[in-house]
Amino acid sequence: MNVLKLLLEKIDYKKERMVQIRRYLHQYPEVSFQEEKTAKFIEEFYKDVPVDKLETNFGGQHGIIVTIKGTKNSEQKNSSNHNHHKGKTILLRADFDALPVTEQTGLSYSSKNPGCMHACGHDAHTAYMLILAESLAEIKDLLSGEIRILHQPAEETPPGGALAMINAGCLEGVDLVFGIHLRADIETGHIICHPDSTQSGQSMFKLVIQGRGGHGASPHLSNDPIVAGASFVTNLQTIVSRRVNPFDMAVITVGSFDGAGQFNIIKDSVTLDGDVRTMNEETRILIEKEFRRLVAGLEVTFNVKTQLDYTNNYPVLKNDPEITLQVKEICERASGLNASQTNQEEILIPEITKVETGIPWSASEDFALYLQQRPGCYFYVGAMPEDGIWYPHHSPRFRIDERSMIISAKSMAAIVCEYCS
């Protein structure tokens, strides 16, 4: 029996329900660390699914872990054949938090929660994973090993939900970890599996510059922190242009400059907030060192006092090269894109039209924390809308092609069957 073919048939049969789940979740988004109703929805979904274990409020942060044990493995253990294949224990992760964004898509199922939107596709991640998990549970007698489904909260807001999940023991006994992110900037049908450093590490900073407030007509009696801050913002970019190796990726962004006040008043202090993205640890260390050096110089140059909070949040996401190439080969084989295949071999996932290694993505992801602990692969499934008009992730106009959910479920199904059947 072709286990993957049976699993894919189950997923195809449920594709309309997958869309319904996604649209429901899209209407009722919840931001990081506040996903109480979303977690309850996920919990209720599994009440009638034949999983082996359901753990809720995992890590104390609305996380949910579902365990599916392949019974084929236990049958083999009791047989006289000592050369049986023991399946792996793999973890599949899907995040489910939304963003503090006011939706402007005009969709019939737009967010009903003011100021909150699924602007990154986590609703779709959850929908495909629920249907996949249900389908896996229904055929667990044909699987070996163990599949652990992790529905993770709070990916969008540092320190993120992954840290609490790991501290609570989600990786105990796990051999491999896998995850998918839908991307509206990649054509639907395309899959990107990039080995090694794949997404940037992220740090954030908050800098308070304390000057001396006063009358705008007498600047010599004050000490203007806006002038100091403006100089700092400009000089900050010299770290990337003059200190970082041109072949290394680095971005420093000042996202907020709180300098609002009265037109004729020199402010007493200003606050700058921003973040830093790097693609390797050495560059991260260098930027923090140079950043602190510029802050110290600011105090000397402008005779101001500063208070700096600089936090390293998500590390660089590094895929295991060998596992990633295996994932690429699995997806190519299932979609008939493997150059070594014969024309007689059955194409199981025709929805996949291209598989490539692609280039790294400058966004950050707390899935990186799982990959620090276990080998695995985090890859991308194209979700560009059919009309070709796409908006960046986190945009109030962000949309996806819902066919990408089927591709996600099927490609992950192929990976599961490779290691657990």
Residues of the chain by 3-state class (helix, strand, coil), percent to 5: 35, 25, 40
Q: How many CB atoms lie within 10 A of CB 172?
A: 9
Q: Is 155 a catalytic residue?
A: yes
Q: Identify residue 403 by its one-letter amino acid code.
A: R
Question: Backbone dihedral region of 154: left (phi > 0), alpha (psi from -120 to 50 degrees) or beta?
Answer: left
What CA–CA distance (Å, rounded) separates 98 from 109? 15
If DSSP codes are grouped into helix, strand and coil, which group holds residue 182?
A: strand
Work out whether strand 176-183 and strand 89-95 pair parallel, antiparallel, or are unpaired. parallel
- Specify whether 146 is catalytic: no
In the DSSP assignment, the letter for residue 161 is S
Check 155, 156, 275, 401 and give the catalytic one: 155
- Identify whether the C-beta of residue 144 lies closer than 8 Å to the C-beta of residue 87: yes
Instruction: Residue 395: count other Cβ atoms within 10 Å of its Cβ.
Output: 18
Catalytic residue selected from 30, 35, 97, 365: 97
Helix (H, G, I), strand (E, B) or coil at 288: helix
Residue with tokens 């640890």: 281
Name the residues annotated as catalytic.
97, 155
